[in-house]
Chain A
Amino acid sequence: MSSNVGRRTFLKTTAAAVLAATESGSNLQAVNAQTIAKASSAAPTRLTVNGNDLTVDLDSRTTLLDALREHLQLTGTKKGCDQGQCGACTVLVEGRRINSCLTLAVMHDGQAITTIEGLGTPDKLHPLQRAFVAHDGFQCGYCTPGQIMSAAGVLDEVSRGVPSHVTRDLTAAVRLNDTELRERMSGNICRCAAYPNIVAAIRDVAGYRA
């Protein structure tokens, strides 16, 4: 790849090529999807996503992750393993971090969802987003939205006094350190192993010293 082609441009071009390559099968898939939707569609689901009240008509099988990505075009939230092991799909529901791949959108009717798109914007980054950039807390970037949403959840949990497996004294106030952070972030996998920089980024925002 020449140096003047950015990673994002490269990804977009590749994605377009993949779409073109599979287009021959897309009509059949569309028909199947329609038939299935009729067989099992639930009542319209109301979600407040990043402050916007939305109503979506979904097949009851639609996970919150697929609702965000495929129906609301919020593709910042990533699908990694689709079974709750990698954390790439982490979003906040009513302020708490969960794996959006392991829950149905219909189960969250009337609830508030925050995705990476709602945390900050390119013009006004969230402190965690800024810290991930400053500390180079990623390489390929695929796990990054999940890492950042999970980190936002962790900081909130610590502020509410939620203990962890490595908290020595369950009756004392919870204080964040690198050991605590690593344990609390264990539900987010980074295949590039950018962990030292991810920890540094979150530490920066949490405001403690290593």
Chain B
Amino acid sequence: MRAFTYERATSPADAAEAVVRKPGAKFIAGGTNLLDLMKLQIETPTHLVDVNRLGLDAIEPTPEGGLRIGALVRNTDLASDARVRKDYAVLSRALLSGASGQLRNKATTAGNLLQRTRCPYFYETALPCNKRAPGSGCAAIGGLTRNHAVLGASDACIATHPSDMAVAMRVLDATIETVSPDGTRRAIPIADLHRLPGNEPQNDTTLSMGELIVSVTLPRPIGGVHVYRKVRDRASYAFATVSIAAVLVFDRDRVVRGRLAFGGVAHKPWRVEAAEAEVGRGAEAVAEVVLSGATTTEHNAFKLPLVRRTLAATMTDAAKG
């Protein structure tokens, strides 16, 4: 790990200001991803601003009937919250399918959104990677690409976003609230938080330098049957090969409307609202729209039939309640 200086922030605005004041500074919250990357010198911050003591750890009802989740609410606590389990079960399910008990106790809501890709070429500092070293090239393209993106990738990067939680938040239309170094606050729909790689895969999100996530707001509950189905190489503690967050509304055993977001397939949680109009026609019809424009390699072509089959299984499961 490279040497760095450390300070503990006392307010969100101070934290944001502290990060822009020192070049090379970064926020640290749970640290479970950042410290791993620092040990490998993939991340080399010169200064860490610890935001763990800022409060921001409450889950509160909003006047609109939704929930405001503090940025520092730990994954375990969010998944365990009675209101989340009852009204936003897809979020509990997604959180509980990710990482291990120890990591979920430490990882935060904001940190989960901001975690970096687990592309093995991003992790291998001896190889080029446009996300780690902009302009150096992409060693994944032409390499072993079993776990890489099949949607929305670019010639510069084919990495996927690893979060389960973010896929559920995408289907719930969450809003991300931030504070900037000059004290201004803004609200970002989760659809606009994560970027597609394009020519700047080094930028995972649309956040500016020093912009600190302070909370995530869920709109009022939308009812329906909530399912998070995750396909992975082992039964527990593994990243998704393909995952689906679904909220489906049934009339008896017929699905009449629904929302669907997909993980493990792109640089961001993947949701195609136009595909959701097809839910009444079945999983194949939905998948047809979701997967239009997909590009595959010989290693990850299996993800397209896997998405179709996982979607069919998800919709069948949901119909059972």
Contact = CB atoms under 8 A, between A and B. Distances in A.
Interface in A52-100: 59-61, 63, 82-84, 87, 90, 96-99
Interface residues of A, number: 43
Contacts, number: 113
A177 interface: no
Interface of A: 36, 39-40, 42, 59-61, 63, 82-84, 87, 90, 96-99, 102-104, 106-107, 109, 150, 153-154, 157, 160-165, 167, 170-171, 182-188
B3 A61 contact: yes
A84 B102 contact: yes
Interface size class of B (residues with CB under 8 A): 35 or more
B105 A97 contact: yes
A183 B236 CA distance: 6
Nearest to B226: A170
21 contacts: A40-B5, A60-B3, A87-B100, A87-B102, A97-B102, A98-B105, A98-B106, A102-B31, A102-B32, A102-B103, A104-B31, A107-B28, A107-B52, A162-B79, A165-B236, A170-B85, A170-B93, A182-B236, A183-B235, A186-B236, A187-B100
A99 B3 CA distance: 22
B24 to A, nearest CB: 13
Given A61-B4, A102-B32, A161-B80, 12 more contacts: A39-B3, A61-B3, A84-B103, A98-B106, A99-B102, A102-B106, A106-B6, A153-B101, A165-B93, A165-B236, A167-B96, A186-B235
Interface in B204-228: none
B47 to A, nearest CB: 10
Contacts of A182: 236
Nearest to B2: A61
B100 A186 contact: yes
Interface in B66-111: 76, 79-80, 85-86, 89, 92-93, 96-97, 99-103, 105-106
